Copies of this chain bind each other. A is one copy, B any other.
Amino acid sequence: MTTEKSRARDEVIDALHGVVSEMHDKMMKGNPPTMTLPQRTKKNIGFDEKLGVYKYGKKTSVRDATSLGSARMLLRSLHITEFIEEMIDNEKSSTLREMYYISEGWGHGKFHSQNESNNLAEDLEIVTKCLREDFKLRPEEDGARIIGNVTFEEKNRKGDWMRINSRDDVGDSGYGVPYNVEPEKLKLAEEDIDFVMAIETGGMFDRLVENGFDEEARCALVHLKGQPARSTRRIMKRMNEEWGKPIVVFTDCDPWSFRIFASIAYGAIKTAHISEYLATKEATYLGITADDILSYELPSDDLSKQDLNALDAELSDPRFSDGWWQEQINLMKEIGKKAEQQALAKYGLDFVTDTYLPEKLSSIGIGY
């Protein structure tokens, strides 16, 4: 896995053929075919202190065709390999959902739930060290929207490169991030910003846009749309690596929002095999914090039982092990409150850009 670029066509096909070869070689020796992959259990996922992200450990498991379930998985892997090769040759792509339906024609290899097909796609990523994007598989979810003085070059359907400035060439809804943001599809062309701000809710994104915060603070605004899609995390990682821009994350004060931050900064368990590719270790959490609820006297809601459980889980999550997070989470439990970013509107529509963000940003060393 490289964080530089996705794999070239031939590399992807070679990697997939590697999976097929393992099966073929076993059979030639008269043994049942096998597929070796890392154990995808919680026990085999560790927090890599050096890289600062989640990673799979060294434990592997071997699927062989001696049980019906495993035999089906191997059969499916062969069908998927064929399907992906076809897509690559025909310059097509498919949603994970479409692949699930396409398996209708795979006889005993038919998937019984979307979960099965999603997991197998992830297995193949792990084994081949390729990305889902290399396989031409895409999710249903929408990518982020970006507004700010950054210019991307995107390859369109006809194979032409289009140059799009996310401030001057787009409408109010901004630049829509495509599902594939690898260099073969998207180039980071030009920028005139000091940092990137990721924003949880559409309402707050639109507020910052209307208030011209991107120009005033010289930043690119990224609407995360809740738990950010892979392409959203990846494009932020690229802006951080290629342009050297800090990423700051502005969310609700809520245990689920903290997870959004953690997935941006340290990776998520589900995508542990590509953490170093998606996670931006240098990302900084800006707010809303429990401190903010108190010092800005924000309108807040009581924590639910689920919220409290999630906060407890976070207290023992290595991603939240540093002193600052422990303090904030414990304070939140103490006051029993959570708050939305839009609660800042209590002080009017400009408070967030005139007062809150300048104060918070200067506290982490970003002035403008």
Interface residues of A (CB under 8 A from B): 87, 92-95, 97-99, 101-102, 104-105, 138, 140-143, 145, 152, 154, 156-157, 162, 164, 169-179, 201-203, 206-207, 209-210, 212, 225, 299, 340, 342-346, 348-349
Contacts and interface: CB of A to CB of B under 8 A. Distances in A.
Given A154-B172, A172-B176, 12 more contacts: A95-B206, A98-B207, A99-B345, A101-B345, A102-B348, A105-B346, A141-B202, A145-B176, A156-B171, A157-B209, A164-B170, A179-B206
Contacts of A175: 171
Contact of A98 (B98, B138, B342): B342
* Shortest 9 CB-CB contacts between residues of A and residues of B: A173-B176, A98-B345, A101-B345, A95-B203, A172-B178, A154-B171, A104-B346, A97-B342, A140-B203
Contacts of A171: 152, 154, 156, 162, 164, 175-176, 178
A148 to B, nearest CB: 12
A17 to B, nearest CB: 22
Contacts of A141: 202
Nearest to A138: B206
* Binding site secondary structure of chain A: mixed
Contacts of A340: 97, 101
Contact of A346 (B101, B157, B176, B342): B101
Given A171-B154, A203-B95, A102 B346 contact: yes
A348 B104 CA distance: 10
Contact of A157 (B99, B201, B210, B348): B210
A212 B157 contact: yes
Contacts of A101: 299, 340, 342-346
Given A169-B169, A171-B162, A176-B174, A210 B93 contact: yes
B157 A342 contact: no
A143 B174 CA distance: 12
Contacts of A99: 345
A184 to B, nearest CB: 13
A118 to B, nearest CB: 13
A164 B175 CA distance: 12
A176 B202 CA distance: 13
